[in-house]
């Protein structure tokens, strides 16, 4: 570990944004870059399909199983509560978490389906609050250029547009940064890496806060 980070907690950083903005590939690349720089970091993603309730979520997303909108919302939330202890332990032991989607996706997706936004936020209250949320944006034209959406639920352009509107309601400038993802992969990585390094330097001696 680089010496100036020793004894400090890790930073909790979330990448949010619509499908195909590059969240998954950038999160993984950022973790690789941090590790190469001798900074402890871990990739995590939500939903985590590997937990018990992650299996139910996977069944829903692949259209094998069905739940009410309220029911699946609570499963996505529970999926985050399942990981909270592990996340807190990692942060306290100095590992930064680069997290692919979090509560903001959960609330944006469910409220885009018509559920009340405050109802959606309520069960997320008390989860760990990220130190930094990076919202990756793409214009509809740039999004169209990224090619076809997949077959899972939600991977429909009209629905993605509603999700963007919900993100703009949730956005809190005190800890959110919006970054245009319409650039080469490497240029975007460089921009994100600078933000991530700043966050790691700045959050090491701050308390871990709770959401909402
Ligand atoms: N900067 C970029 N420019 C062009 N295509 C990209 C860029 N970043 C990612 N992609 C492509 O977009 C697709 C989605 O990337 P992914 O990381 O899975 O996004 P997300 O997790 O946000 O859905 C992949 O096919 C990836 O190769
Ligand atoms: Mg992804």
The ligand placed nearest to the CA atom of residue 26 is 1
Q: Decide: helix, strand or coil at residue 203.
A: helix
Decide whether any atom of ligand 1 lies within 6 Å of the 145 Cβ.
no
In a domain, 189, yes or no: yes
Decide whether any atom of ligand 1 lies within 6 Å of the 146 Cβ.
yes
In a domain, 5, yes or no: no
More confident residue, 145 or 1: 145
**In total, how many domains does the chain have?**
1
How far, in Å, from the CA of 70 to the mean position of ligand 2?
Answer: 23
Q: For 163-184, what is each residue's pLDDT tens digit?
A: 999 999 999 999 999 999 999 9
- For residue 163, what pLDDT is reported? 94
Decide whether any atom of ligand 1 lies within 6 Å of the 200 Cβ.
no
Q: Domain of 134?
A: 12-204
Contacts of residue 163, Cβ cutoff 8 Å, sequence gap at least 6? 18, 108, 109, 112, 154
Q: For 23-45, what is each residue's pLDDT tens digit?
A: 999 999 999 999 999 999 999 99
In a domain, 94, yes or no: yes
Q: For 122-164, what is each residue's pLDDT tens digit?
A: 999 999 999 999 999 998 788 878 866 666 777 677 888 899 9
Q: Which of 32, 41, 38, 107 is nearest to 76 (CA)?
A: 107
Residue bearing the CA closest to ligand 1, atom 8: 22
CATH assignment at residue 175: 3.40.50.300
In a domain, 135, yes or no: yes
pTM, rounded to two decimals: 0.94
Q: Which of 54, 45, 18 is nearest to 100 (CA)?
A: 45
pLDDT confidence band for 72 (50 / 70 / 90): very high
Residue bearing the CA closest to ligand 1, atom 10: 22
Q: What is the DSSP letter of 97?
A: E
- For residue 178, what pLDDT is reported? 98
């Amino acid at each position: 570990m680089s010496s100036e980070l020793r004894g400090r907690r890790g930073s909790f950083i979330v990448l949010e944004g619509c499908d195909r903005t590059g969240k998954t590939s950038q999160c993984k690349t950022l973790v690789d870059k941090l590790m190469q720089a001798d900074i402890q970091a871990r990739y995590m993603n939500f939903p985590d399909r590997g937990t018990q309730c992650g299996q139910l979520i996977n069944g829903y997303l692949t259209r094998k199983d069905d739940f009410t909108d309220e029911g699946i919302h609570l499963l996505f939330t529970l999926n985050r509560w399942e990981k909270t202890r592990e996340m807190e332990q990692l942060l306290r032991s100095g590992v930064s978490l680069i997290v692919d989607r979090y509560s903001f996706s959960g609330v944006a997706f469910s409220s885009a389906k018509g559920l009340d936004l405050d109802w959606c936020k309520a069960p997320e209250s008390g989860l760990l609050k990220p130190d930094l949320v990076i919202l990756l944006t793409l214009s509809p034209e740039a999004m169209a250029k990224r090619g076809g959406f997949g077959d899972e639920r939600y991977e429909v352009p009209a629905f993605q547009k509603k999700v963007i509107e919900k993100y703009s309601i949730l956005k809190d400038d005190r800890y959110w940064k919006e970054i245009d993802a319409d650039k080469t992969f490497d240029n975007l990585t460089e921009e994100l890496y600078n933000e991530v390094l700043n966050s790691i330097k700045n959050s090491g001696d701050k308390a871990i806060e709770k959401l909402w």
